[in-house]
Amino acid sequence: MEIQRMLDLKIVEVGESDYTSLMIFVEAPGQDPRPCVDYRGLNEVTRTEVAGG
């Protein structure tokens, strides 16, 4: 399984934090599974700095 391989290679890790994002693998016919990350929660707490001038 792709997730286990990524865990074994220490590409990803299991964690709990206010800043973690859900990752799932999406499978499309005829293609390798691809990781998709839901950054909506992180985006809600991220502040954007605007340069004044």
What is d(CA 7, CA 29) in angstroms, rounded to the nearest whole number? 24
pTM over 0.85: no
Instruction: Give 24's contacts (C-beta < 8 A, 6+ positions apart).
Output: 35, 36, 38
Residue 33 tokens read as: 């599974």
Residue 10 tokens read as: 């220490």
3-state class (DSSP) for residue 53: coil
The label of the residue with tokens 């293609």 reads: 31
Residue 53 pLDDT: 60
Give, as one character, the DSSP assignment of residue 39: -
- Using one digit for the tens of pLDDT, what is the confidence trace for 26-46? 999 999 888 899 988 888 888
